[in-house]
Homo-oligomer: A and B are copies of this chain.
């Protein structure tokens, strides 16, 4: 069982849920009633943070688990934590101004990239050892 990766997955999920919650709060604060998703730039930025995180979940979660299975549980968990930290920075930056989203975005993209490349190397090495 990949216990550390499982734990970091739950952390990523709750952090993502917290973002959805922020969107609900921003709806109230900036008077954008459901089902509208536009109407106030401050709301739209918070909404885009959640949407972008949603967009990255099918990149992050498969790469995380394939890395964990083919490379290692603890290393996957550590890189997963860096991804979450990058996402948190992206959230705080983007909430302030669209321009301040780039650093956090870069960190989480790099972490996801390392997971993806590591998983690929792990799978290819598995094939090589089987040959």
Contact = CB atoms under 8 A, between A and B. Distances in A.
A79 interface: no
Chain A interface size range: 35 or more
B10 A123 contact: yes
Nearest to A53: B58
A13 B63 contact: yes
A10 B61 contact: no
Contacts of A81: none
Interface of A: 1, 3, 6-7, 9-10, 13-14, 16-17, 20, 33-36, 38, 41, 44-45, 47-48, 50, 54-55, 57-59, 61-63, 66, 69-70, 98, 101, 116, 119-120, 123, 126-127, 130
Contact of A35 (B1, B48, B66): B48
Contacts of A116: 10, 13-14
The 8 closest A-B pairs by CB, nearest first: A35-B48, A57-B58, A35-B44, A35-B45, A6-B123, A9-B62, A34-B98, A6-B66
A9 B69 CA distance: 13
A6 B58 CA distance: 14
30 contacts: A1-B69, A1-B126, A6-B66, A6-B69, A6-B70, A6-B119, A6-B123, A7-B120, A7-B123, A9-B62, A9-B66, A10-B62, A10-B63, A10-B66, A10-B116, A10-B119, A14-B116, A16-B58, A16-B59, A20-B55, A33-B98, A34-B98, A34-B101, A35-B41, A35-B48, A38-B38, A54-B55, A57-B58, A58-B58, A58-B61
